[in-house]
Chains A and B, each alone.
Chain A
């Protein structure tokens, strides 16, 4: 188990290293660049040349990459040139990451809390009206683009009805104290209940929008997995043994059906991060998705590098955790 974890972590290092190289080269191959973004429509050829040499952009790319790598080992990933000019790129990432985590976690919780029970129920009543409605619903969930749903939700609940806020993470008038950057948690820690509540209210619409795709996927996988398990011999045996329905459902059906579901949840982190880019844009949440969008617009290489590498790391780590959690669910895997 430990060796397995170490091997996977070593893989992670390799993935990040290779990705950093590709990313570094690819970003610099894009037309335009930080110099145009910094100087804008007021640039003169002379000023451009001066800036390029000052920032070392006129050096060969492997020299630039080598310098980047050396600095990265000391924890210096450069300074933002566009998203938050002058702030260390790592800091830009760290101040924005909680927003994305909060949103993604919330959306995932919502998807799991709704998707698993619905999937289980649909499988139990296969072919019934409940099953049919749920399947149609989950299809709609996958088919409707996240940003469209986000716009729709915002228009109805924020603009028309005015019951929920249209954008942002918290009302600015609240002047909440920030400790961790997770706004709901911060309010609980500092006992500013209203701040927590306000942050929670701001999360509702974006979380619903973001949760639709993972919800639909989790629902479908749960349904299929439960259907599979229901046909297994051991379930029939358990029934024959006269175990109570509760025990059969809990210990035998649901427990065994969870394996593919947990894998799916792990894989959905990628979808969540991708969906967060759009959701954050529509709801104006200053998370890493927005940082990537603005970063591309303004060619903010340092921020893009940190954010994309970190997102890749999170993805790999979450999937490692998922694999490790198999052991918890399925004791047979623990032996290996």
Chain B
């Protein structure tokens, strides 16, 4: 009995010492907490902590298409062109000015002088061309839509020539000039260069950290060190660290910035996926601002002294129509009946946040080519019934898809919106089969593969051109709308291409107005519903945050008091 009891005793003694040691350490820690604010207050501008709704995919915006990545890289990097603060209009950024040849195919950018990347290397014409060549020369996994989405969407193919590309070549006759050659004229240029994906990044840093080394590994992608730890641009903030264990991204002021230096010393993005938690962190002072507030909280947030900035709406929510499965939907009168059946005024009032508007066309009136005289579809169930009867579709049954487990900036409450619209359709005598699936759990799958009859979806504009909206929707006839089933599907796609390729501003504007008129009167491939403004919340301590319709807020001019 003695033998086993001795080691047992000794362990318990050792354990006690460990406990005492730990308690001491805690006591010391307690004493040290008085000076826990170390590393702060070093500069006049202070620190701002922003509550982001999700983790960025990576920090190389070229391979990204998610808003949380762009929110961060936008502070670190700049493009040749930028967007005027608070608008979706293009202004010079790293290019001071530019001109194009009469055929719209050759663009000469005159670059800002004395600009340096964060690694100390010069920004010049050569760097611009190296960026363009990097994008164009992507191979293998780099050509995947999940990575190079914005390049493929805007420029098309790559240097391997498998698909035609908008981009032809780039040359730099001197350090302050870069000339970009295109294969055709397009209304998107140079606006699209303001997209975060086309930010100018340091060629030296990209080479050192193997920025192009993306690979398909197993059933996903692996990114190089550059994308996770060394993003290098010219912007007012520099990348400092990403602490994934603590879900925080830290940026520091770039003291060598070419323009007006950032007021903030440092800028931290804390990733807080839950909306209630973001709100509570703002209330308890843990963060200074956050995005995607719940529309129901706006009043309480204002009452508590916070500023709720409502952005100008730059999105569209539509009732999508798939013409593939239900032949009745290929009849214009049936689609018009749907448009008359839905009560959009009521939808905007009852289901959407303040500042929301009824959509008459497929993009907001701030975008070029908006026509004031398109056909209107007022709420009129009787007229809807009559149109259905004329089309011989009085017993119409529709599979109506709506997404669960998601909110989108244009669709804050999918279920509420679905309920309202389904009720409207029933009122017009249509039988509605509700089909609900989680966003990533089958909804996008089914809608994209044209399995729905009608569905809820929308779009937030990337930049201020009509092509970014209607070109994306209706430029491919065999997509989720399946306009290929109608004789005009291909024609509409051609009209969109023609309008986009028109280099003359006035003529292009007229072409797009014509397309918009026909979209609403002759084609009606979907029913535009609403434009909803996404809000952003800042505490009263924060000054100078200008809300952007593109949700592209810049933090260089922001300061925090107290």
CB <8 Å contact, B272 and A167: yes
Q: Does B395 contact A (CB under 8 A)?
A: no
- The reply to whether B33 and A198 form a contact with Cβ atoms under 8 Å apart is yes
Kindly identify which residue among A56, A92, A155 contacts B280, using a CB–CB cutoff of 8 Å: A155
- List residues of B (46-67) whose CB comes within 8 Å of A's CBs: 47, 49, 55, 57-58, 65
Binding site for B on A (CB under 8 A): 30-45, 47-48, 50-51, 54-57, 64, 67-68, 71, 76, 78-81, 83-88, 92, 95-96, 98-99, 151, 154-155, 158-159, 162, 165-175, 178, 181, 183, 187-188, 193-198, 200, 281-284, 286, 290, 294, 297-299, 301-302, 331
Q: Please tell me if B506 contacts chain A, counting CB pairs below 8 Å.
A: no
Residues of A within 8 A of B228 (CB): 86-87
Is B284 in contact with A67, judged by CB distance below 8 angstroms? no
Instruction: Indicate if the CB atoms of A64 and B445 lie closer than 8 Å.
Output: no
Q: Verify if B377 is at the interface (C-beta below 8 Å from A).
A: no
Distance in Å: Cβ of B108 to nearest Cβ of chain A: 32
B32 interface neighbour in A79, A170, A194, Cβ under 8 Å: A194
Q: Are A174 and B57 neighbours in the complex by a CB distance under 8 Å?
A: no
Q: Are B245 and A302 in contact (CB under 8 A)?
A: no
Contact B445–A33 (Cβ < 8 Å): yes
Q: In the complex, what distance in Å separates the CA atom of A281 from the CA atom of B472?
A: 36
Known: A41-B457, A284-B277. 20 other contacts (CB 8 A): A31-B438, A32-B437, A32-B444, A34-B219, A35-B445, A41-B459, A54-B144, A55-B219, A79-B221, A81-B221, A83-B55, A84-B55, A85-B57, A151-B276, A166-B277, A166-B286, A167-B286, A169-B246, A173-B49, A294-B273
| A51 pairs with B457, CB closer than 8 A | no
Q: Judge whether B440 is part of the interface by a CB distance below 8 angstroms.
A: yes
B440 contacts across to A, CB distance below 8 A = 32-33, 36-37, 297-299
Q: Is B183 interfacial (CB 8 A cutoff)?
A: no
User: Which residue, B28, B58, B245, has most C-beta atoms of chain A within 10 A?
Assistant: B245
Other-chain contact of B286, A37, A86, A165 (Cβ < 8 Å): A165
Please determine whether A51 and B145 come into contact, CB atoms closer than 8 angstroms: yes
In contact, B49 and A81 (Cβ under 8 angstroms): no
Asked whether A282 and B223 contact (CB < 8 A) given A42-B65, A44-B479, the answer is: no
Known contacts A85-B223, A173-B47, A187-B29; is-contact A45 B449 (Cβ 8 Å) = yes
Tell me whether B105 is interfacial, beta carbon within 8 Å: no
A181/B445 contact (C-beta < 8 A), A81-B220, A187-B29 known: no
Among B36, B40, B65, B223, which residue has the most Cβ atoms of chain A within 10 A?
A: B36
**Known contacts A169-B245, A284-B247: A159-B280 contact under CB 8 Å:** yes
29 A–B contacts, CB within 8 A, in A order: A32-B442, A32-B445, A33-B440, A36-B448, A39-B149, A40-B65, A50-B145, A54-B216, A55-B216, A56-B218, A78-B220, A79-B218, A84-B55, A96-B244, A96-B245, A159-B280, A162-B284, A167-B286, A173-B268, A175-B250, A183-B246, A194-B32, A194-B38, A196-B26, A281-B274, A284-B274, A294-B273, A301-B219, A331-B4
Inter-chain contacts of B270 with A (CB < 8 A): 168, 172
Contacts of B284 in A (CB 8 A): 158-159, 162, 165-166
User: Whole-angstrom distance from the CB of B222 to the nearest CB of chain A?
Assistant: 5
The answer to whether B4 and A193 have CB atoms under 8 Å apart is no
Residues of A within 8 A of B65 (CB): 40, 42
B436 → chain A closest CB, angstroms: 12
What's the minimum C-beta distance from A250 to chain B, rounded to whole angstroms?
Answer: 12
Determine if A86 and B223 form an interchain contact, defined as CB atoms under 8 angstroms apart: yes
Asked, given contacts A31-B442, A284-B274, whether A175 binds B39 with beta carbons under 8 Å apart, the answer is: yes
For B406, give the chain A residue with the smallest CB separation.
A297
Of chain B, the residue at the smallest CB distance from A297 is B440
Q: How far is the CA of A281 from the CA of B166 in the complex (A)?
A: 45
CB-based closest 10 A-B pairs: A31-B442, A193-B32, A86-B223, A47-B145, A194-B36, A32-B441, A193-B29, A197-B29, A38-B146, A78-B218
B30 at the interface (CB under 8 A from A): yes
| Contact of B37 with A by CB under 8 A | yes
Per the bound structure, the CA–CA distance linking A151 and B276 in Å amounts to: 10
Chain B residues near A85: list those with CB within 8 A. 57-58, 220-221, 223
Q: How far is the CB of A295 from chain B (nearest CB, A)?
A: 11
Tally of chain B residues near chain A (CB < 8 A): 78
A43 touches B33 (CB 8 A): no
| Known contacts A155-B280, A165-B284, A32 near B438 by CB under 8 Å | yes
B contact set with A: CB distance below 8 Å: 4, 25-26, 28-33, 35-40, 47, 49, 55, 57-58, 65, 141, 144-146, 149, 152-153, 216-223, 227-228, 243-248, 250, 268, 270-274, 276-277, 280-281, 283-286, 405, 408, 437-445, 448-449, 457, 459, 472, 476, 478-479
* A95–B246 alpha-carbon span in the complex (Å): 10
> Contact: B57 with A86, CB < 8 Å?
yes
Task: Give the residues in chain A near B437, CB-CB below 8 Å.
Answer: 31-32
Query: Which chain B positions have C-beta within 8 A of A88?
Result: 222
B245 and A48 form a contact (CB under 8 A) = no
Residue of A nearest to B223 (CB): A86
CB distance from B352 to the nearest CB of A (A): 19
Are A95 and B245 interface neighbours, CB within 8 A?
yes
Contact A43 B145 (CB under 8 A): yes
Q: How far is the CA of A178 from the CA of B246 in the complex (A)?
A: 10
CB of A89, distance to nearest CB on chain B (Å): 8
Which chain B residues lie closer than 8 Å to A297 at the CB level? 405, 440
A86 and B58 contact, Cβ closer than 8 Å, known pairs A51-B145, A167-B280, A172-B248: yes
Interface-central residue, A54, A86, A155, A196, by most chain B CB under 10 Å: A86
Contact B36 A174 (CB under 8 A): yes
**Measured CA separation A56–B217 after assembly (Å):** 10
Contacts A39-B145, A194-B38, A299-B440 given; indicate if A45 touches B218 (C-beta within 8 A): no
- Are A172 and B246 within 8 A (Cβ)? yes
- Return chain A residues, CB-CB under 8 Å to B244: 84, 87, 92, 95-96, 286
Q: Which of B38, B58, B218 contacts A71 (CB 8 A)?
A: B218
CB-CB under 8 A for A193 and B31, given A31-B437, A281-B274: yes
Known: A166-B277, A174-B38. A43 touches B444 (CB 8 A): yes
Complex CA–CA separation, A259 to B190 (angstroms): 74
Contact B448 A43 (CB under 8 A): yes
CB distance from A46 to the nearest CB of B (A): 8
Minimum CB–CB distance for B252 against chain A, Å: 11
Q: Are A86 and B25 in contact (CB under 8 A)?
A: no
A301–B220 Cα distance when bound, in Å, is: 9
Residues of A near B227 (CB, < 8 A) are: 86
> Roughly how many angstroms separate A106 CA and B246 CA in the complex, as a whole number?
18
